[in-house]
Chains A and B, each alone.
Chain A
């Protein structure tokens, strides 16, 4: 192992089947201390199964799963873990403070209640009953429950669903702070900009296997194209014949060009149309790389 900071959890050749369906097909994954890993993949790729195995909620049919060098079913291993699941309804009639105190009691040396509340941005909600909170506020309480035990490994399953932009930014800041403290974080999300903003490492799953594992940069370079958008009267068909132009599309008068050599195409474009306006140049984002990757993985579907 090259990473000197240590492995906190690992799956090796993990296989999990549900009847005829193979949810995980020999998955290998290592999580390291202080690392934020985004787990991406289309629905049914095996993200939930992976997390279920690491938390000891289900057992693998084959392969090995370890949490801090132990079986995840061992409560000692899970005392070092914090969890925020996608759909968990906390007891509605308890107050936020009571819920936090209850979760803190499970851990050997929890964070002080006030500190957890501050991190999750819920200090003003402590007296309120859980049922009275909005969806976004409830998610923040669940986040506080996840971090209150001073975990060394934090699982966040779609943490920002139902949050407004402000709340999402605050949660991101809190996650960064936890990572800076040395906490490893496993994040699953449908918002690719979330993975882009937070993750040092992005693992893409498809059909129960890891199809890509690397930095955000590395994943982005999967799609080396840059996108140029502008308002112009030029003929899209003519531009499509220029060198280095991969694709030209036109929607509502706005021309969109995808290219590997934006500098050359731009120079020619500006020369050709002096009245060109509304110019926008952007690199391919994670979303495009992700679409490319998962499309490449499922060619049969396109044929069908």
Chain B
């Protein structure tokens, strides 16, 4: 075995300079973002659903031109719009890549494992930011909602960071289901959760039983934060942030455990 040891001690390529490792992270994130920006099958539903809903319920049906209602709905549909790049961006892509062999190839290649997840995370954050910008534009230009720059930036940050718990949930679902089944299952989570969190019909108008269980859903914690960022409500921010962070950590750990076990 001496020869084997000699070979392995050769400096050839054992040490990868940190600049190149960083480069791998950047390149992975860049490729992941480009890849989904160019996929209309992903981008169109993510961008169109919340904006169409907002156009319909926040602007067209909002006869009196009530800017308070338009502001409230901006927060609600903002949260609705932020959920989908997280759930679908992570969940569907992971489920597909587990099936079509890309994940296996990436695990065999010397890709830094965290680069894969960070790349998808960044992509989801950018898509979430895109949805928020679209909604903000519609709210200010079409519904004439007065939004101050700090409020706009606050909502943008809420959206881009608020996508993370949904990334984690999507990732976990992606580790449970392979291939084509994932979008259906994710819709079964996405749509009921949106409704139960009061994103479509305000919570106080829902039956009491549903109001009671609302704190179970992460989106029900993100909505008050979005309302707060827009100045439409004043809530204690930290409890909601902590709950959302808890969801993110818990589902990330669950998913990572499953990925390590079976790939």
Contacts and interface: CB of A to CB of B under 8 A. Distances in A.
Contacts of A108: 13, 15-17, 20
A221 interface: no
A81 B39 CA distance: 31
A18 to B, nearest CB: 12
Contact of A109 (B13, B27, B105, B263): B13
Interface stretch (B4-12, B207-215, B221-229, B249-257): B4-12
Given A66-B4, A109-B13, A83 B20 contact: no
A81 B36 CA distance: 28
A70 to B, nearest CB: 6
Contacts of A102: 27-28, 30-31
Contacts of B201: none
B40 to A, nearest CB: 9
B178 to A, nearest CB: 13
- Which of B9, B28, B108 has the most chain A CB atoms inside 10 A of its CB? B108
Interface residues of B, number: 40
A94 B39 CA distance: 10
B110 to A, nearest CB: 4
A32 to B, nearest CB: 9
A98 B100 contact: no
Q: Is the interface of A mostly helix, strand, loop or mixed?
A: loop
B3 A6 contact: yes
B181 interface: no
Given A93-B35, A94-B31, A78 B110 contact: yes
Contact of B4 (A6, A103, A107): A6
Given A57-B263, A106-B110, A83 B28 contact: no
Interface string A63-77: 000101110000110
A55 interface: yes
Interface in A93-143: 93-94, 98-99, 101-103, 105-109
A56 B108 contact: yes
Interface stretch (A84-92, A159-167, A169-177, A202-210): A84-92
Interface string A267-304: 00000000000000000000000000000000000000
Contacts of B105: 83, 85, 88, 90
Given A7-B7, A69-B8, A83 B24 contact: no
Nearest to A55: B108
Nearest to B25: A105
B45 interface: no
Given A4-B3, A107-B110, A149-B110, A93 B39 contact: yes
B107 to A, nearest CB: 6
Given A57-B107, A93-B35, A7 B13 contact: no
A144 interface: no
A87 B179 CA distance: 15
Contacts of B28: 102, 105
A83 B111 CA distance: 12
A91 B12 contact: no
A8 interface: yes
Contacts of B6: 6
Given A98-B31, A103-B109, A105-B24, A85 B104 contact: yes
B112 interface: yes
Contacts of B27: 101-102, 105
A54 to B, nearest CB: 9
Contacts of A88: 100-102, 104-105
Contacts of B202: none
A98 B30 CA distance: 10
A1 interface: yes
B1 interface: yes
A33 interface: yes
A6 B15 CA distance: 20
B5 A75 contact: no
A288 to B, nearest CB: 33
A69 B13 contact: no
- Which of A70, A91, A99 has the most chain B CB atoms inside 10 A of its CB? A91
B35 A78 contact: no
A89 B35 contact: no
A242 B67 CA distance: 104
Contact of B7 (A33, A81, A92, A155): A33
A259 interface: no
Interface of A: 1, 3-8, 10, 33, 55-57, 66, 68-70, 75-76, 78-81, 83, 85-94, 98-99, 101-103, 105-109, 145, 149-150, 152, 155
24 contacts: A7-B3, A10-B4, A55-B107, A76-B15, A78-B109, A79-B14, A79-B16, A79-B110, A80-B14, A83-B108, A85-B101, A85-B105, A88-B101, A89-B101, A91-B35, A93-B38, A94-B31, A94-B34, A103-B109, A105-B23, A106-B24, A108-B17, A108-B20, A149-B110
